[in-house]
Structure 1
């Protein structure tokens, strides 16, 4: 199993706390493996096997558990009344009204409850109402570049590892596959499972091809400012007539299933969130290649995608920055305030205009929050009037001195 130390440490920090631990993320990003890693930790720290109750609701042996009563009765019958019980419910959204079973277990003094789900709606509607203030969400993503490089364990140049990372997928199991065609088949399986199980069935969508066309459009436009009207107009002009309302529903479904992450805009000078001009980034760039084939992508937008996900991994709220008429790629809001990131694949040109263009939006921000320019041009950290230019792969692996 690939270590996922940051997520594991997060679970450990909440051990025995009176909170339901909810791990969310796209299918196959490693949620079940995280539970296994955590259970191993428990077993080496004084917890006995009989105190751990693990239910993977996608496994055939639990096929009969389809509603909250059956789930509660199954777990309740296995509880050790004299000791703390650690209860793991994997892909719990498959159970009808699961939140009632989770709540019934939570109120027991000897139950520490952990659940996973592959849909954002897990924490909406009735669950949010019933369990408000009783849960903490741990948002999980596929492997970071740092995790990927460590798992490969090979003496390869960082640039080679990066190309493998974006083409061969950041989904953990993809590392077990040696042939590119096997990786593509694996990614196709993930994608089709999400489309069928997490979207079509739940949303009761009839036009499957239209949904897939929308997803293809989004993969083809990661890093571009996108509106539902633009998507509808583009698809209609290509002979696939679709309404704005339908596009909105499809985008909601795709983001709820964590295939894409929607990044809104933030007015840096006015300190306000804007309602238009969103961008979407893919949970895994390898999925883009699996869906679109060998179609070339803008290397800068791919790097943006990787940087955006890394900021999300590090716990930031992430927005696109508007600075007057200029744009900053990312405004990252964390515990210590705001940070600004500009991303450029390369700054190399004949007259230095690219560097000037990339620095201009950051220079126009008058506050003193940290500002970074990330690029694939190898070199040490350089300061441009306080703006730190950093080799992107050093930043991704934590080797850059900030």
Structure 2
């Protein structure tokens, strides 16, 4: 199976020999290694780069255990860079294995790997690419530890367009499969729904939870599992650590502090399993401290974690739209419009209207509402009322689960069908 990831390949091509360390991050099993070791490798070979000039190291393979010592890693790579007049490409997979537990737990202990990678860049004829599955070790440290020499490329599970370009067929049928089993590439190698479900379910216990428990020395692994279930079952719902702590206590009968819950949410986020969407006051131009929403990085993982029991179509669609917007490099918040309105009794009341997504990229902003269907006048008014209460000039959009071509109503709101939104990244411009 060979799924082309053109967007990420272009990012790698454009960052080639830019004097920075390319840090490729993303949830485990999303295709980072395949992108680097197959797609980008093949591109370099097609351009005439010799195989011996591409130095490949896989640190989670026991054949490379010795190279988990940063100094041994440096020695090995430098021994392969044999000609100063030639260019060399260094690919290091799962680079966090070269960072010791002591280095990660003690902020005063320097992380040796970073100086090794910076040293390779200083050679001038070496281009360095590393992959990793944890933002705490990589993304958050890049600007400081790499002294401005880090270039982060975040990889997501397959978008619906990448998925559909591979599977083809009827769009609606492909979407239903995608909404059930998600976009982790290896899922597409499974030929039955049972095998897909089994693969996704096992990822939590055999990969994700094991990584988190070992990395952060989690004592309450059952609480971590319950928290994950709760977040999966409440995608698109406002929550916070204190509320989650109370929910877990009522369900499991075990009290856990909100501080512990907040820490565990941080671990899940650092492992890219969930992403937070903060609440933004549209009129006041400020963020609320809490509550916020959490969305799962892959909808198939979310469904598998809940044993495919909770198939709330509107919430799943909202999660898929959120992931699509994030993968297009938008900053995505949850919008709140606060208005003072006069009730029938003459009293003035503060009303909050929610906008599913406030989407920003540079100076561009969109307000987006996710609506499964709008088949009645009442439903239409309900879905559009928050957008109609925003008075600025930025585009207001509603996405519905239809094949409809984009059209603009008399209030200026742009209506887009879900399939066109997912398959055309420039649809907002139409």
* TM-score normalized by the length of structure 2: 0.89
Structure 2 unpaired stretches of 5+ = 100-110, 339-351
* Residue number in structure 2 paired with 1:328: 355
Cα pair 2:8 2:155 within 8 Å, conserved? yes
Structure 1 unpaired stretches of 5+ = none
The alignment status of 1:202 with 2:215, answered yes or no, reads: yes
* From 340, 343, 356, the counterpart of 2:381: 356
Cα pair 2:370 2:399 within 8 Å, conserved? yes
The alignment status of 1:284 with 2:285, answered yes or no, reads: no
Provide the rounded CA distance (Å) in 2 between the counterparts of 1:77 and 1:167: 48
Provide the rounded CA distance (Å) in 2 between the counterparts of 1:193 and 1:255: 18
* Residue number in structure 1 paired with 2:164: 149
1:120 match: secondary structure:
coil
The alignment status of 1:252 with 2:288, answered yes or no, reads: no
Count of residue pairs the alignment pairs up: 398
Distance apart, 1:195 and its partner CA: 3.2
1:12 match: secondary structure:
helix
| Alpha-carbon distance change, 13 to 125 in structure 1, aligned in 2, over 3 angstroms | closer
* Residue number in structure 2 paired with 1:49: 51
Cα pair 1:344 1:376 within 8 Å, conserved? yes
Cα pair 1:92 1:116 within 8 Å, conserved? yes
* Residue number in structure 1 paired with 2:203: 190
The alignment status of 1:84 with 2:110, answered yes or no, reads: no
Cα pair 1:226 1:278 within 8 Å, conserved? yes
1:112 match: secondary structure:
strand
Distance apart, 1:357 and its partner CA: 1.4
1:288 match: secondary structure:
helix
The alignment status of 1:58 with 2:73, answered yes or no, reads: no
Cα pair 1:340 1:372 within 8 Å, conserved? yes
* From 353, 366, 379, the counterpart of 1:339: 366
The alignment status of 1:134 with 2:149, answered yes or no, reads: yes
| Alpha-carbon distance change, 84 to 197 in structure 1, aligned in 2, over 3 angstroms | farther
* Residue number in structure 1 paired with 2:41: 39
Distance apart, 1:106 and its partner CA: 1.9
Provide the rounded CA distance (Å) in 1 between the counterparts of 2:140 and 2:378: 50
Distance apart, 1:149 and its partner CA: 0.7
Cα pair 1:263 1:280 within 8 Å, conserved? yes
* Residue number in structure 2 paired with 1:15: 16
Provide the rounded CA distance (Å) in 2 between the counterparts of 1:64 and 1:189: 29
* Residue number in structure 1 paired with 2:133: 118
Cα pair 1:99 1:126 within 8 Å, conserved? no
Provide the rounded CA distance (Å) in 2 between the counterparts of 1:315 and 1:62: 34
Query: What is the Cα-based RMSD across aligned positions, in Å?
Result: 1.6
